[in-house]
Chain A
C-alpha cells in the first residue's frame, strides 16, 4: 500500500502539486491558504524547484504566465480577494491558450469579508472570472485526499485542452487534518515533453509567439470560435461527479466541497428516518455535470441545492434540469457553514413533515 500521512488539506495540495511534476510556484500571503506557500517554500527548496513570494497576486499570476508559456507546469494559490486580483492575468492566459493551475482556498466575501470557509466564488470560477468569452476548468475537492489527487488531474486537463484550471477549495478543507494516501507515483518533470507553444529560444525551429491579441479584422472572432469548439469538447468529455443513493431517490441533494460533506451526513440522517435521499456531488464545477442531473430529473421530483453562498450553483442545477422539477435551495453566506441537522430539517420540510 502507498504511504499514508495525517496532513492539513493545504499541505496535501503542496504534495499533490509536486507529485504532479510542478516545479514552479509564485504567490502572495493570504489567509486561509498561507500553509500552501509556507510548506511549498520548504519543499521546493528541498527538491530544487522555484518558489517566489511575490509583491502581489497580480505579479504571481503573471509569473505563472511566463513560466507556463516557457513550457513548465506552474501553479499559484490564493484566497478570494487575491483571486479577484488575478483575473486580468487569467483572462490573458486563457486568451493565449496556456495551461496553468490556480488554487482558490475560498473565504467569506465580498470585499475583505472574513477568513471563514465559503463557496461564494462559484460564479467567478465557473463563468470565466475576468473579461472576455472564456471558461476555466474548475475542480472541487471535498477532502485532503482529493486535494492531493486533483492537482495532477488539473494539470492533465489544463494541458490536454491548453486552458487554465482552477481548484476551488475553502478554508475548512485547507485547515482540516485528514489521512492522505500518496496514491500515485510522482512525475519526474524532466520526462514531460516540451509543449508545442513553449518559449525556449528559437534554435533549430521557427520562432514562437504567445499572445492573446489579434487586431486583424475577423481574426479574433475566428480564434474565439476555435476556442469555443474546445469548450464544447470539454463539456462533452469532462463532466465529473459522485452520485450516492440517487437511483431511487425522492429527493436529491446537490452540493460540492465542504457542503457535500455536510450533506452526506444530512442524507444519512434522512435515510435513517425513512426518506429516500440521494446526494449528487459535482466534482467539476465547470464543466458542470449537467448530463447526470438532466437524467436524474427524469425520475426524481425534488432537488435541494445546498451552498455556502446566497445561491449560485443552484442556477446551473435549474439550467441542467430545465426547471422541470422543484429546485429548493439552502444557503449560508459570509462564512456560514450549514450543519447536518439544519439540512435535515430542510429535507423534512420539503418532503412533508416527520415520518
Chain B
C-alpha cells in the first residue's frame, strides 16, 4: 500500500504536548518539512524558546539548544558566527520575543544577522496560563487583564514586523497566519523564502505567524480560527513587510 501522508523526517517521533487546536503543531510540521525539502536538516541548529514551545528541542529532528527566555537571537548569533555553514533558526513566542527579548531581536535584526526567526504571535502568554502579552489586543481579556486590555494602563500592543521595518538591517520580514489552508500555504512559502535567504547568505529573516491558542483564549479551535480571521488580522495585517531581494531588483 502506498503511504500518502506521514511524519516528515524533520520531526522526531515524539508525540507533541500541545493543546487541541494550537497552532504550534502546524508550524512545527511546516518547518519539519522544509528541513527535508531544502536538504538542510543535517546542517541545521534550532533554538527552542521559553514558553509552550520550550519542548521544540525534542520535536525538531536536528541539533537543538534551549537558551534563556528571550535570548534566542543572541544565542543564534553566537552559533552562526561560530559555524557560518550551519543553518540557524530561532523559534520564539510573543512573550519570549516581544517582551523579555525585545533588545536581542531588535539588535539581531539591525546587524542583519544571517539567521531565521520564527515568531509565533498568539497574543497571550501560553505556558504560564494566559497572562497579558506585549501582543494582546486592546480590550482582549487575559488573566492579568480580566476586564480586557486597558490601553490607558497597559498601553498598546507591539507590532513586531512594523517595528523591525523601521530598521535598515533586516533582509526579509513577513507576517502570515495558520488559521486557514490558504494562510498555511502562505506560511510555508514565507518560511521557505526566509530559510532560502539564509542559505543564500542574504541576512536576517523573520516570519511572524498569527497562531491559535484556544485554551487561553477560552474558545473552541474553530472559534479561534474565526477570531484570527475576523479580529486579529485586522490589527496585525498579513503580508511582506520587507523583502530586499525585490527592492534590489
In angstroms, how far is the closest chain B Cβ from the Cβ of A212? Answer: 7
Contacts of B103 in A (CB 8 A): 55-56, 58-59
Complex: chain B residue closest to A88, CB-CB: B68
A59→B71 contact, CB < 8 A? yes
Contacts of B58 in A (CB 8 A): 209
Please tell me the number of chain A residues within 8 Å of chain B, measured between CB atoms.
39
Contact mask for chain A residues 200-224; partner B; CB cutoff 8 A; 1 contact, 0 none: 1111100111111100000000000
Contacts of A60 in B (CB 8 A): 74
Contacts of A141 in B (CB 8 A): none
Q: Does B165 contact A (CB under 8 A)?
A: no
B65→A210 contact, CB < 8 A? yes
Residue in contact with A24 in the complex, picked from B74, B75, B78, CB distance below 8 Å: B78
Contact mask for chain A residues 117-130; partner B; CB cutoff 8 A; 1 contact, 0 none: 00000000000000
In the complex with contacts A62-B68, A89-B68, A207-B61, A201-B43 CB distance below 8 A = yes
| Alpha-carbon distance between A116 and B66 when the two chains are bound, in angstroms | 37
In angstroms, how far is the closest chain A Cβ from the Cβ of B65? Answer: 4
Contacts of A63 in B (CB 8 A): 74-75, 77-78, 81
Q: Does B64 contact A (CB under 8 A)?
A: yes
Contacts of A209 in B (CB 8 A): 57-58, 63-66
In the complex with contacts A55-B107, A66-B82, A92-B68, A202-B75 CB distance below 8 A = no
Within 8 A of B (CB), among A86-101: 88-89, 92, 96
Contacts of B71 in A (CB 8 A): 58-59, 62, 65, 89
Q: Does A180 contact B (CB under 8 A)?
A: no
Within 8 A of A (CB), among B81-96: 81-83, 85-86
Q: Is the interface of B mostly helix, strand, loop or mixed?
A: helix
Residue in contact with B45 in the complex, picked from A62, A70, A89, A213, CB distance below 8 Å: A70
| Alpha-carbon distance between A194 and B79 when the two chains are bound, in angstroms | 14
Contacts of A59 in B (CB 8 A): 71, 74, 77, 103-104, 107
Q: Does A31 contact B (CB under 8 A)?
A: no
Q: Does B41 contact A (CB under 8 A)?
A: yes
Residue in contact with A199 in the complex, picked from B41, B63, B68, B106, CB distance below 8 Å: B63
Complex: chain A residue closest to B40, CB-CB: A201
| Alpha-carbon distance between A58 and B75 when the two chains are bound, in angstroms | 10
| Alpha-carbon distance between A199 and B82 when the two chains are bound, in angstroms | 10
Residue in contact with A72 in the complex, picked from B54, B57, B82, CB distance below 8 Å: B82
B68→A50 contact, CB < 8 A? no
Residue in contact with B82 in the complex, picked from A62, A74, A96, A212, CB distance below 8 Å: A74
Contacts of B67 in A (CB 8 A): 62, 65-66, 92
| Alpha-carbon distance between A207 and B103 when the two chains are bound, in angstroms | 30
Cβ contacts A to B, 22 pairs, < 8 Å: A24-B78, A55-B106, A62-B75, A64-B78, A66-B74, A67-B78, A68-B78, A70-B78, A72-B82, A74-B78, A89-B68, A96-B65, A199-B86, A200-B86, A201-B42, A202-B63, A207-B61, A207-B62, A209-B64, A209-B66, A211-B64, A213-B54
A residues neighboring B (CB under 8 Å): 24, 26, 50, 52, 54-56, 58-60, 62-72, 74, 88-89, 92, 96, 199-204, 207-213
Rank and list the top 4 A-B pairs by shortest CB-CB distance, nearest first: A66-B78, A62-B74, A63-B78, A201-B43
Extra inter-chain contacts (16) besides given A200-B86, A207-B63, CB under 8 Å: A59-B104, A62-B67, A63-B77, A64-B78, A65-B78, A66-B75, A66-B79, A66-B82, A67-B78, A70-B45, A70-B79, A200-B83, A201-B86, A207-B64, A210-B66, A213-B54
B residues neighboring A (CB under 8 Å): 41-45, 48, 54, 57-58, 61-68, 71, 74-83, 85-86, 103-104, 106-107
